[in-house]
Amino acid sequence: MKYKSLLLLFLMLVQLSSCKSKEEVQLELKSECDQIKDIVTDCMSIHRGALDYIKNCGDISLKELKEIQSCEEILNHIENK
């Protein structure tokens, strides 16, 4: 019984680490503009993909957005661009 519990725990940990690496790979495949749109949709509490009609993010920098601490500041930053 003890070995079955340890095996189950091990398999769960392997699965979790596998999921994380898939998310990282998916993030790397997205363009900078798509990553910006994900940040904005998350801040606006709307579903990802709601802004798919936007084809160009202009001069908004992903690096700048990642440095901003709050959603309110992110949305203000984008509004003032």
Whole-structure pTM value: 0.64
Q: How confident is the model at residue 6 (pLDDT cuts 50, 70, 90)?
A: low
- What are the DSSP calls for 6-54, one per residue? HHHHHHHHHHHHHHHHHHHHHHHHS-HHHHHHHHHHHHTT--TTTTTT-
Q: How confident is the model at residue 37 (pLDDT cuts 50, 70, 90)?
A: very high
Reported as half-sphere exposure (CB side, CA atoms, 13 A), residue 25 has a value of 6
Q: Whole-angstrom Cα distance, residue 60 to residue 47?
A: 21
Alpha carbon 51 to chain centroid, angstroms: 14
